[in-house]
Chain A
């Protein structure tokens, strides 16, 4: 079991640049979640998909954020344009509903 795979592990970019985070969920899982962790807000849910369909994106902070899941084995979270306040650790997680979440090791994003 390879677990949830996220790339890159670290991303440093300048304000205004586009950032794309990638996630490969565990094979056979039917739901995928994007979380963001910051000191101020802790772990907050941004968006989740069920069977590749976005179900709830109410946690996406602004229109600068978008997420896609073109197939069952791949998802992206894009920030365009990026801002310093987007600096955080972004986690992807998957589960076979209604089981517990399995998290990836996260992408640490720094926007300067």
Chain B
């Protein structure tokens, strides 16, 4: 059974608007959460992370929110740009390492000019 779920395989947003990508998990032991972005024919690249002691982390246009009680993670991109079009993976783990992550299946974001 999947421990990490990204229920929306795809999302389309207009340039300049907000993109919200969601991720749900089942294991309450997870304590570190990350988002990766992947362009075609490239490997995933790290975007932003959050530990379980926080509920929000912001880096420029990207903000990650963590709702531990709901076991829900989200990524907000404001404003969205065409260059943000990619597949976004949420990944998580426990034990303080950012390494051996369990990933969702990804959400393909398309930002229309």
* Pair B100/A45 contact, Cβ less than 8 Å: yes
* Pair B99/A97 contact, Cβ less than 8 Å: yes
In the complex, chain A residues 76-95 whose Cβ is within 8 Å of any chain B Cβ = 91, 93, 95
A98 with B99: in contact, given A42-B104, A43-B89 (CB under 8 Å)? yes
- Interface of B, secondary structure class, is loop
Residue of B36, B44, B49, B99 with most chain A CB atoms under a 10 A cut-off: B99
In the complex, chain B residues 64-113 whose Cβ is within 8 Å of any chain A Cβ = 89, 91, 96-106
* Pair B106/A45 contact, Cβ less than 8 Å: no
Q: Does A4 reach chain B (CB closer than 8 Å)? A: yes
Q: Tell me how far the C-beta of B92 lies from the nearest C-beta in chain A, rounded to whole angstroms.
A: 12
Which residues of the other chain, A, contact B45 by a CB distance below 8 angstroms?
102-103
Top 8 A-B pairs, shortest CB-CB distance: A103-B43, A42-B105, A100-B46, A43-B103, A100-B98, A103-B44, A98-B97, A105-B43
Q: A42-B104, A43-B106, A95-B99 are in contact. List 10 more A-B contacts (CB 8 A).
A: A31-B99, A42-B106, A43-B89, A45-B100, A95-B98, A98-B99, A100-B49, A101-B44, A101-B99, A103-B45
